[in-house]
Amino acid sequence: MQVLVIGGGGREHALVWKIKQSPKVKKIFCAPGNAGTAEIAENIPIVADDIDNLLEFAVKNDIGLTVVGPEQPLVKGIVDRFEEKGLRIFGPNARAAELEGSKSFSKDIMKKYGLPTAEYKAFNSANSAAEYIKIKNCPLVVKADGLAAGKGVLLCQTADEALAAVDSIMGKRSFGKAGDQIVVEEFLEGEEVSVLAFSDGQTVLLMDSAQDHKAAYDGDKGPNTGGMGAYSPAPIFTETMRQKVRDKIMLPMIRAMQQEGRPYKGILYAGLMLTKTGPQILEFNARFGDPETQPLLIRMDSDIIPIFEACIDGTLDKCPLQWKSESSVCVVMAAKGYPDSYEKGKSISGLKDANALPGVVVFHAGTKEQDGEVLTQGGRVLGVTAIGKDTATGISRAYEAVKKIEWEGIHYRKDIGHRASS
């Protein structure tokens, strides 16, 4: 079959890389793709949320399966549009994707069905939020309600910081329309873990665990980003914890969405905080995580295409999912200044040398090819991913590859995986 992967980041390069290994796949297109996807697929110059042109392309090119990477087209209803035309597409429809598209909707569902999450309140007015903050104990978390590319969550140690966060989101419109509404919630202490699962609306098939590093700088300091690196598996996520999360969080959410008339097919991604009282839900996302996808897919042993198809067909209970026993690590190499303003168009060298190292795959995120050169084109530029017999080996291999890659103004964390290796 011919497959279309939508998106142009590191997650999408990893998806193309994994899909290409399936004997069921004849050709892959990626829209819009990047310099990395161009090496193993045909890039199509259509942006990820241009649903009309993506639909036209899929119809004209006999696309047998479409896989959606980013959240924006899911929330905008790309799955609904493709299904109306009889096309097979992997991902939740618009009503199900609201689980990520609106944090207040997501929190309301969790509260209604008794899922474990932090105490919260949603606000449409900055003044109301400010009054609430003044009577609450800090620290607090202030979140833009809508999509903010993983950056709309502000951790506030004091009331002044929380009030400044409200002003940034609702007053200065730092995240645009995503800040029309905000959620203020209690701060949870513990260790974060990402749990991704396939769902066909009835069954959930959990992937192995991964741990993301959101903060921009070493030691988990600095502003939140889309993710500066990840590793898999997370040792803190034991088999007992896995069963608990499956039975008390993932399955109940799938059943809740069914109950609400919003059957959920696709990837259900839970960002969890492992607290002293058990796992608590920080957020749900409606798609593969970035950068968690990179270390997860390099460890996935099973062919991913039959799993996508089973999610669409409602036959996930018949699907096995096998994992390599090794550990994997992804180090994100970003442009100077990320997650704030950054320069583009810097020439990247050393990619071939890095890719040639044992167990290493360099996934492109914000790159483009121009006149035979690979140039920086985004905030997160590369996801240097390595697999090894244990996390320490994965870390060592990933950073050995990182050192071979150069461009002007590189920024990356030097402590990815520290929780698993310490």
Weakest-pLDDT range from 103-107, 221-225, 340-344, 376-380: 221-225
Residue 105 in any domain: the answer is no
Span 396-401, average pLDDT:
98
Q: Are residues 211 and 314 in the same domain?
A: yes
Which of residues 180, 203, 218 is at a domain's end? 180
Q: Are residues 198 and 311 in the same domain?
A: yes
Q: Are residues 216 and 308 in the same domain?
A: yes
Residue 233 in any domain: the answer is yes
Q: 34-39: which pairs have CB atoms within 8 A and are 24 or more residues apart?
A: 34/8, 34/9, 34/364, 34/365, 34/366, 34/367, 34/368, 34/377, 35/364, 35/367, 35/368, 35/369, 35/374, 35/375, 36/362, 36/363, 36/364, 36/367, 37/5, 37/8, 37/12, 37/13, 37/364, 38/369
CATH number at residue 77: 3.40.50.20
Q: What distance in Å separates the CA atoms of residue 85 and residue 263, rounded to the nearest whole number?
A: 19
Is 90 exceeded by the pLDDT of residue 8? yes
Per-residue pLDDT, 151: 77
Report DSSP letters for 108-125, one per residue.
HHHHHTT--B--EEEES-
Name the percent of the chain lying above pLDDT 70: 100
Is 60 exceeded by the pLDDT of residue 194? yes
The 3-state DSSP class for residue 345 equals coil
Reported confidence tier of residue 152, pLDDT bands at 50, 70, 90: confident
What is the number of structural domains in the chain? 4
Residue 269 in any domain: the answer is yes
The 3-state DSSP class for residue 237 equals coil
Q: Are residues 200 and 308 in the same domain?
A: yes
Per-residue pLDDT, 189: 93
Per-residue pLDDT, 420: 79
Q: Are residues 266 and 377 in the same domain?
A: no
Q: Are residues 338 and 302 in the same domain?
A: no
Tell me which residue range forms the domain holding 149. Answer: 125-180
Is 90 exceeded by the pLDDT of residue 419? no
Is 60 exceeded by the pLDDT of residue 422? no
Which of residues 93, 112, 137 is at a domain's end? 93
Q: Are residues 310 and 198 in the same domain?
A: yes
Q: What is the pTM of this model?
A: 0.95
Q: Are residues 82 and 16 in the same domain?
A: yes
